[in-house]
Amino acid sequence: MIPVVTSAHDHLLVRACRRQPVERTPVWFMRQAGRSLPEYRAARGSGSILEAIADPALAAELTLQPVRRYGVDAAILFSDIVVPLHAVGFGIDVVPGRGPVVAEPFTSAADLRRLGEFSPGEHAPYVAEAARLVVAELAGDVPLIGFAGAPFTVASYLVEGGPSRTFAKVKSLMHTDPPLWDALAARLADMATASLVAQVEAGAAVVQLFDSWAGCLSPADYARFALPATRAVVAHVATLGVPVIVFGVGTGELLGLMATSGAHVVGVDWRVPLDEARRRVGPGVAVQGNLDPAICVAPWEAVAASAREVLAQAGGAPGHIFNLGHGVLPETDPAVLCALVELVREESRPGAAAT
Amino acid sequence: MIPVVTSAHDHLLVRACRRQPVERTPVWFMRQAGRSLPEYRAARGSGSILEAIADPALAAELTLQPVRRYGVDAAILFSDIVVPLHAVGFGIDVVPGRGPVVAEPFTSAADLRRLGEFSPGEHAPYVAEAARLVVAELAGDVPLIGFAGAPFTVASYLVEGGPSRTFAKVKSLMHTDPPLWDALAARLADMATASLVAQVEAGAAVVQLFDSWAGCLSPADYARFALPATRAVVAHVATLGVPVIVFGVGTGELLGLMATSGAHVVGVDWRVPLDEARRRVGPGVAVQGNLDPAICVAPWEAVAASAREVLAQAGGAPGHIFNLGHGVLPETDPAVLCALVELVREESRPGAAAT
Å from B252 to nearest chain A CA? 7
Q: How confident is the model at residue B45 (pLDDT cuts 50, 70, 90)?
A: confident
C-alpha angle A291/A294/A299, rounded to 5°?
Answer: 90
H or E element that contains B181: helix B178-201
Is B224 in the active site? no
- List the single residue in B with minimal CA-CA distance to A219: B271
In the stretch 166-205 of chain B, residues with CB closer than 8 A to chain A read 166-169, 171-172, 174-176
Residue-wise pLDDT for A51-78, tens only, equals 999 999 999 999 999 999 999 999 999 9
Is A44 in the active site? yes
- Residue B91: the pLDDT is 94
C-alpha angle A99/A102/A107, rounded to 5°?
Answer: 130
In order of A60, A121, A137, A189, A242, the CA distances from A144 in angstroms are 11, 19, 11, 22, 11
- Residue B350: the pLDDT is 78
Across B26-64, b (16+ Cβ under 10 Å) vs e yields: bbbbbbbbbebbeebeeebeeeebbebbbbbebbbbbbb
Å from B253 to nearest chain A CA? 6
- Angle in degrees, 0-180, between the axes of helices A300-314 and A334-347, rounded to the nearest 10: 40
- List the single residue in B with minimal CA-CA distance to A270: B218
- Residue B317: the pLDDT is 67
pLDDT mean across residues, chain B: 95
Residue-wise pLDDT for B121-130, tens only, equals 999 999 999 9
- List the single residue in B with minimal CA-CA distance to A167: B294
B189: phi then psi, degrees, rounded to nearest 5: -65, -40
Give the list of residues 6+ apart from residue B217 with CB closer than 8 angstroms, or none: A271, B152, B167, B171, B225, B226, B254
Query: Is the pLDDT assigned to residue B111 strictly greater than 60?
Result: yes
Q: How far apart are CA A129 and CA A194, in angstroms?
A: 15
Residue B146 three-state SS: strand
Å from B35 to nearest chain A CA? 15
Asked if the Cβ–Cβ distance from A168 to B271 is below 8 Å, we say no
Query: Is the pLDDT assigned to residue B3 strictly greater than 70?
Result: no
Query: Is the pLDDT assigned to residue B4 strictly greater than 60?
Result: no
| Domains of chain A with CATH codes | 8-347 (3.20.20.210)
Å from A116 to nearest chain B CA? 28
Closest CA to B165 of A165, A30, A299, A302: A165
Catalytic residue among B15, B24, B31, B278: B31
- List the single residue in A with minimal CA-CA distance to B276: A253
In the stretch 276-335 of chain B, residues with CB closer than 8 A to chain A read 276, 292-295, 297-299, 302, 309, 329, 331
Residue-wise pLDDT for B233-274, tens only, equals 999 999 999 999 999 999 999 999 999 999 999 999 999 999
- Residue A6: the pLDDT is 55
ipTM confidence: 0.92
Name the pTM for this structure: 0.94
Is B35 in the active site? yes
Give the Cβ contact number of residue B2 at 10 Å: 4
Average pLDDT over residues B183-194: 98
Is A157 in the active site? yes
Cα A321–chain centre separation = 13
Per-residue pLDDT of chain A (355 residues; tens, 9 = 90+): 344 445 788 899 999 999 999 999 999 999 999 999 999 999 998 889 999 999 999 999 999 999 999 999 999 999 999 999 999 999 999 998 889 999 999 999 999 999 989 999 999 999 999 999 999 999 999 999 999 999 999 999 999 999 999 999 999 999 999 999 999 999 999 999 999 999 999 999 999 999 999 999 999 999 999 999 999 999 999 999 999 999 999 999 999 999 999 999 999 999 999 999 999 999 999 999 999 999 999 999 999 999 999 999 999 768 999 999 999 999 999 999 999 999 999 999 876 654 4
β strands within B213-292, DSSP E: 244-247, 265-267, 286-291
- Residue B117: the pLDDT is 93
- Residue A109: the pLDDT is 96
Q: Which of A169, A292, A324 to substitute to test the interface with B, most B CBs within 10 Å?
A: A292
Give the list of residues 6+ apart from residue B303 with CB closer than 8 angstroms, or none: B291, B295, B296, B336, B339, B340
Residue-wise pLDDT for B327-349, tens only, equals 999 999 999 999 999 999 999 98
Average pLDDT over residues B62-71: 98
Is B31 in the active site? yes
Residue-wise pLDDT for B132-153, tens only, equals 999 999 999 999 999 999 999 9
The answer to whether B272 faces chain A, any CB pair under 8 Å, is yes
Asked if the Cβ–Cβ distance from B218 to A292 is below 8 Å, we say yes
The answer to whether A95 faces chain B, any CB pair under 8 Å, is no
Query: Is the pLDDT assigned to residue B28 strictly greater than 70?
Result: yes
Query: pLDDT above 90 covers what percent of chain B?
Result: 92
